[in-house]
A and B are shown apart, each in its own frame.
Chain A
Amino acid sequence: EDQVTQSPEALRLQEGESSSLNCSYTVSGLRGLFWYRQDPGKGPEFLFTLYSAGEEKEKERLKATLTKKESFLHITAPKPEDSATYLCAVQGAQKLVFGQGTRLTINP
């Protein structure tokens, strides 16, 4: 069974303090790994899709990387507006499987 585990569950940083969020997964035949950002009371907003180990993608202060067992979402010099829950999901042969998310808070 495909599984996704995100860590930590919650992370509090000071503005400008860089860090990484982890997404560990087990899947039969990875078709794609997805990162989303979700603000309270809103739908997830798509950030990145990664397809194969070694692939990296960047957007503003965010950078996603992928290995055969895990993905990292690196956040560099975060700002308070980066506060949100970040969701990771993997797709194997069947449906998309989501992790429980990491709740990120950036203090000014």
Chain B
Amino acid sequence: DGGITQSPKYLFRKEGQNVTLSCEQNLNHDAMYWYRQDPGQGLRLIYYSQIVNDFQKGDIAEGYSVSREKKESFPLTVTSAQKNPTAFYLCASSIGARGGDTQYFGPGTRLTVL
């Protein structure tokens, strides 16, 4: 059963801590993405990766870092430098990164800073 999994579903972070959000896909997709969703705003792109060992910054990359060591996995680290990290984080993947390739989303991780 192919799909995208994200863990954990809920995550609580104390100020000053780094936390890592997991994203795994078994769709054999080359491209993977991280988005942030805030109430009343559209999804905003944090980072994306078109191929293993390569990734690019999106519109709001400051305070975040990623790695792409395996095709199936694209973890996102929210660092202490991110000033307002409380949000709903969504991972997506597409077969390629060409324009027009449909992106499929995971179930999301809700991060709350205490």
Contact = CB atoms under 8 A, between A and B. Distances in A.
A44 B37 CA distance: 11
Contacts, number: 56
Given A31-B99, A51-B100, A95-B58, A41 B42 contact: no
Contact of B108 (A42, A92, A99, A101): A42
Contact of B99 (A36, A93, A100): A93
A70 to B, nearest CB: 16
A12 B104 CA distance: 28
B40 interface: yes
Contacts of B105: 36, 43-46
Interface of B is mostly: loop
Nearest to B97: A95
B40 to A, nearest CB: 7
A74 B41 CA distance: 23
Contacts of B42: 4, 87, 97-101
Nearest to A6: B42
Nearest to B45: A95
Interface of B: 4, 6, 40-43, 45, 48, 58-59, 88, 90, 98-108, 110
16 contacts: A31-B99, A32-B99, A32-B102, A34-B102, A41-B110, A46-B105, A49-B102, A51-B100, A93-B99, A95-B48, A96-B103, A97-B42, A98-B42, A98-B43, A100-B40, A100-B42
